[in-house]
Amino acid sequence: FLFQFHYREAEDSYNKMDWDKLGFQVIPTDFMYIMKSNEEGTFSNGDLVPFGTVQIEPHSTVLNYGQGLFEGMKAYRRADGEVQIFRPEQNAMRMQMGAERLLMVAPSVEQYVDAVKQVVHANKRWVPPHGKGALYIRPLLFGSGSVMGIAPAPHCTFLIYTNPISNAYKGRHTNSTLSLLIEDTLPRAFPGGTGGVKNIGNYAPVFQVTKEAKAKGFFDVLFLDAEEHKYIEEVSSCNVFMVKGDVISTSPTLGTILPGITRNSIIQLARDLGYQAEERKFSVDEFLEADEVFCTGTAVGISAVGSATYKNTRVEFKTGADTVTQKLFDMITGIHTGLLEDNNGWMVKID
């Protein structure tokens, strides 16, 4: 009965879908994937199941102690109708790194990639038409075993669901620029903490400051380091780059900054184009003298930053067609959607 109910609900939603009006809202698809670790601490026997609610024990560590990770990926429809995903093995390895930090068992790279392929194939009809958006893929890993004391879960659950989204991120179209407020008092992450992994607990603490920034008209918040409050780190949910001449710089991943998959790819593409791409610490003062600034991430893609405000001083950056940002955007978007040749072997086709 529940399967029939969820399927009818999804079918109605699909039949009413207007891909030209697709946004960033919740749209349940047909199937999700679930796999649980066994008593030996390994994963096996994962299954596709109808999309629906998940039963979690009240004593689970994810509910009591926030022991959980998530990943973000996208499936793209090519002009020829085929569907492909971007560097899934990198997300698998990043999940393993985060699981090690939070004392969870994680799927192998092969298990992770196979599960992603299965859930995308099962929800293939939900991948938007070429150029209309992407199917967002959300893998979760969390402590589902029950404990009373503060301790890691005896077993974990790996879950993947999908959601179609447009090319507009949170209502922002790809041709619009970001306005950032530089936060100079509240850090996003601390040395020795979990800022370098996709810990579920990293995000709620910045809700308040980002809400206040958006109430003032800013798109998002750019955070500084926790020790000296002078070095650029990252935005609430994406990495940041600055361009000065032929040099493209981004902050190093030293435990407080997430090693983004898009971030890593952009560094390589920039070098392929002949730019000097570097990972180094740079101050907010140097940042404000940049020619261009852009953000990278799975959800945000590559987005030009039009302005940044620091201590009530607003600085504007170059945007538009004739920019390094646009060149990199065109390259990686072309690779994602099959318009450009994938010389790096990044894309994985879904059968």
Residue 178, pLDDT > 80, answer: yes
**Residue range 330-337: mean pLDDT, rounded:** 96
Q: In CATH, what class is 1-166?
A: alpha beta
CA 144 to chain CA centroid, Å, is 23
**CA dihedral sign, ordered 88, 138, 303, 22:** positive
| Domain limits, the chain | 1-166, 178-337
Structural tokens at position 138:
């959300």
Structure confidence at residue 88 (pLDDT): 98
Structure confidence at residue 15 (pLDDT): 80
CA distance 9 to 18: 16
CA distance 251 to 254: 9
Average pLDDT, the chain: 94
Residue 170, pLDDT > 70, answer: no
Q: Would residue 327 show up in a list of annotated catalytic residues for this protein?
A: no
CA distance 95 to 100: 9
**Residue range 80-91: mean pLDDT, rounded:** 97
Out of 124, 198, 230, 349, pick the active-site residue.
Answer: 198
Structure confidence at residue 268 (pLDDT): 97
Q: Which amino acid is at 16?
A: K
Residue 289, pLDDT > 50, answer: yes
Structural tokens at position 10:
């999804």
pLDDT in tens, 7-20: 666 777 778 889 99
Q: Was domain 178-337 assigned CATH 3.30.70.660?
A: no
What is the number of alpha carbons within 13 Å of residue 274 lying toward its C-beta? 2
CA distance 83 to 249: 32
Identify the DSSP state of 204: G
Which of 39-43, 213-217, 307-311 is predicted least confidently?
A: 39-43
Give the DSSP H or E segment for 316: strand 313-316
CA 282 to chain CA centroid, Å, is 24
Residue 51's SS3 state is coil
**CA dihedral sign, ordered 160, 165, 171, 174:** positive
Q: Which amino acid is at 271?
A: R
DSSP secondary structure letters along 235-257: ETTBEEEEEETTEEEE---SSSS
